[in-house]
Amino acid sequence: MNTLIFYRDWIACPSCDRLHIRPRLLPGHVALCKSCGTRLTGRCMYGTALPLALCLTALVGWIIAMTLPFIAIGFGGQHQTISLPSAVIILTQHNMLPLAIFTGLLLIAAPLISILLLIYLLFFLYHKTKPPFYRFMLKAFSRIRFWDMTDVYLISIIVVLVKAMHMADIQLLHGFWAFCIQVFFIRFSFLVIPVRDMWQRLSRPGLNPAPLPGKRAIATGLVPCHTCTRIHKTGQKRCTRCASPLHNRIPQSINRTFALTITAFILYIPANLYPIMITENLGTTIYSTIIGGVILLWETKAYAVASIVFFASVFIPLAKLLALLYLTGSVYFRKKNYPNDLTKIYKITEFIGKWSMVDVFVVATLAAMIQMGSLATIQPGIAATAFAAMVVITLFAAETFDPRLLWDSTPQGKNNEQS
């Protein structure tokens, strides 16, 4: 029975729900789930000092990237430089508010808030004290860092350079290189300090029920917190560590994922049929669709960039939508085989989602750069909004899908419950 005992701690795999005893790890080691190989926990090799230094460097990089010019454009005798914040202002002034909001939130606000939250948490951890309001700060960090898409933007800049090469002289300036430093250092600190492990550092395990490791949490009347991993008895409404609502499975997971996937599918059609970018160059207007842009890049022998745009804008969104349909279908029709393979498909789907934003950032950057009045202008087409909405809805669809459903009622899941 579920008697309460003192024990180190249990951890349930977020992908398959299998219970493990939380191991005591050596620095640099990670613990993987025995059933599906998902990373359960890890121990940072570098302590707190290095991640804190990385975050402070990323903050300096962010400040320089926002204040110094990012790109210089020379076109028809006109020259101008733009910084990232001025690009957002240009988009707002030219009635491209959705793109301005997207760019401002995903490339400026989300990275800054993530860096500041991480510095705050690491500063207190470095001084071996518990940060005030750490529950709120850590939950905010785990949500907001998901929306930091600065790494995707670096790929977009390569595409912009190739696309605008024939139209204008483009030079990357100090602001861009500072931006690269910010992206590199913040990604590295995310890598060495995963959020789930920070919960462990900040809050010691309390009294824990005593299930047998190897069983699944749901089979032993336990429910793990989705945010901080602490395990509770089923029936507990909120997590005793982070106050997040507790559910055995994400409520209405399949219905919500299916509805969001179908919505994204509908948006995929106008995103591909209508022009994503409208270029006016010396009196000529060119409407380019996503696939038209790929063909143009291919014809100008920019094969690598054409392939990147094709994969990011055509292949990945479609593959992701089909994968989500397949996964929801597998759970709905209680497909009893291969939960391990399906979990891998889900993890890939989750990982590749944001890379589809490449083309949206390309259009936003070109539209901010090329506003030369009667000489040349670039405007986003209706497909840009449809495409951006599709990517965001697909990201939500992947988040509402609960991969543990893939293991419920499968022979593999049952075996774990019996072992």
151: left (phi over 0), alpha (psi -120 to 50) or beta: alpha
Kindly state whether residue 38 participates in binding Zn ion, applying the rule CB under 5 A.
yes
Strands 19-21 and 10-12, bridge-based pairing: antiparallel
Kindly state whether residue 246 participates in binding Zn ion, applying the rule CB under 5 A.
no
Segment interacting with Zn ion (CB under 5 A) among 161-169, 188-196, 228-236, 311-319 = 228-236
Segment interacting with Zn ion (CB under 5 A) among 9-17, 87-95, 113-121, 334-342 = 9-17
Segment interacting with Zn ion (CB under 5 A) among 15-23, 163-171, 178-186, 352-360 = 15-23
Distance CA 360, CA 371 (A): 17
> Could you tell me which of 188, 231, 147, 241 has the C-alpha nearest to residue 44?
188
Segment interacting with Zn ion (CB under 5 A) among 13-21, 22-30, 259-267, 327-335 = 13-21
Q: Within 13 Å and on the Cβ side, how many CA atoms surround 9?
A: 20
Token readout for 205 is 């395990």
Instruction: Give me the least distance between CB of 16 and Zn ion, in Å please.
Output: 3
Segment interacting with Zn ion (CB under 5 A) among 234-242, 289-297, 357-365, 389-397 = 234-242
Of 157, 217, 223, 225, the one binding Zn ion by CB under 5 A: 225
Which residue, 230 or 256, has its beta carbon nearer to Zn ion?
Answer: 230
Q: Within 13 Å and on the Cβ side, how many CA atoms surround 192?
A: 21
Map residues 180-219 to x or -, x wherever contact with Zn ion holds by CB under 5 A: ----------------------------------------
Kindly state whether residue 227 participates in binding Zn ion, applying the rule CB under 5 A.
yes
Distance CA 108, CA 104 (A): 5
Name residues whose C-beta falls within 8 Å of residue 291's C-beta, 6 or more positions apart in sequence: 272, 314
* Cα 22 from chain centroid (whole Å): 27
Contact 256, 264 (CB under 8 A): no
Kindly state whether residue 71 participates in binding Zn ion, applying the rule CB under 5 A.
no
Kindly state whether residue 13 participates in binding Zn ion, applying the rule CB under 5 A.
yes
Kindly state whether residue 228 participates in binding Zn ion, applying the rule CB under 5 A.
yes
Of 10, 11, 12, 15, the one binding Zn ion by CB under 5 A: 15
Distance CA 159, CA 297 (A): 9
Which residue, 102 or 346, has its beta carbon nearer to Zn ion?
Answer: 346
Of 10, 12, 19, 35, the one binding Zn ion by CB under 5 A: 35
- If residue 74 lies in a helix (H) or strand (E), which one and from where to where? strand 71-75
Segment interacting with Zn ion (CB under 5 A) among 10-18, 121-129, 327-335, 345-353 = 10-18
- Beta strands per DSSP E along 102-221: 169-172, 207-209
Provide DSSP, 152-183: HHHHHHHHHHHHHTTTSEEEE-HHHHHHHHHH
Kindly state whether residue 19 participates in binding Zn ion, applying the rule CB under 5 A.
no
Kindly state whether residue 412 participates in binding Zn ion, applying the rule CB under 5 A.
no
Kindly state whether residue 239 participates in binding Zn ion, applying the rule CB under 5 A.
yes
Instruction: Give me the least distance between CB of 33 and Zn ion, in Å please.
Output: 3
Task: Show contacts with Zn ion in window 92-131 (CB under 5 A).
Answer: none
Instruction: Give me the least distance between CB of 404 and Zn ion, in Å please.
Output: 9
3-class secondary structure, 232: strand
Of 20, 216, 241, 354, the one binding Zn ion by CB under 5 A: 241
Of 19, 164, 178, 242, the one binding Zn ion by CB under 5 A: 242
Kindly state whether residue 137 participates in binding Zn ion, applying the rule CB under 5 A.
no
**Given strand 277-281, what is the order of strands in its sheet?**
284-288, 277-281, 376-380
Please state, in angstroms and as integers, the Cα–Cα distance from residue 292 to each residue in 263, 272, 368, following that order.
24, 9, 21
Segment interacting with Zn ion (CB under 5 A) among 79-87, 173-181, 242-250, 393-401 = 242-250
Distance CA 226, CA 286 (A): 48
Which residue, 33 or 186, has its beta carbon nearer to Zn ion?
Answer: 33
Residues at the interface with Zn ion (CB under 5 A): 13, 15-16, 18, 33, 35-36, 38, 225, 227-228, 230, 239, 241-242, 244
